[in-house]
Structure 1
Amino acid sequence: MRSKILRCESCARYTLKEICPACGGRAAPTKPARFSPDDPYGRYRRVLASEA
């Protein structure tokens, strides 16, 4: 299943439309981060999540 959320290539805003409503640039599909059991940045991400 593909994600419906798109990201503008010009201004990096997220949108559901193919043309960015903010700048009029082209929006492309986003790709999720790859899963890895040996995630080298997992520790930092968990620390940031616990602070928020």
Structure 2
Amino acid sequence: MRFLLRKCSKCYHYTLKEKCPKCSEETVSVHPAKFSPDDKYMRYRLAERYS
């Protein structure tokens, strides 16, 4: 039952559904990924964010 809250990236409406009830766009999770000090993929995420 964790991590249910989702957000539409188009109209910024918060919902629990996979598709936004206002604009029918796909929603994304609003919760950040878990932090791990030995994260093997941090380099790739940072490169994607700043490119």
Q: Corresponding residue for 2:27?
A: 27
The Cα shift of 1:3 comes to 1.3
* Unmatched segments (≥5 aa) in structure 1: 33-52
How well do the aligned residues superpose, as a CA RMSD in angstroms?
A: 1.7
Equivalent residue number for residue 15 of structure 2: 15
* Counterpart AA for 1:25: E
Report the Cα offset of residue 2 of structure 1: 4.3
- Partner Cα distance (2:5, 2:29) in 1: 7
Q: Percent identity?
A: 41
- Give the number of the structure whose alpha-carbon radius of gyration is greater: 1
**Partner residue, 1:6:** 6
Could you state the TM-score of these two structures normalised by the residue count of structure 1?
Answer: 0.53
Determine the C-alpha separation between the residues in 1 that align with 2:31 and 2:19: 18
**SS of residue paired to 1:28:** strand
| Ranges in structure 2 where 5+ consecutive residues have no aligned partner | 33-51
Letter in 2 for 1:31: H
Residue deviations 1:2-52, cap 9 Å, x none?
4100000110000000000000011000025xxxxxxxxxxxxxxxxxxxx
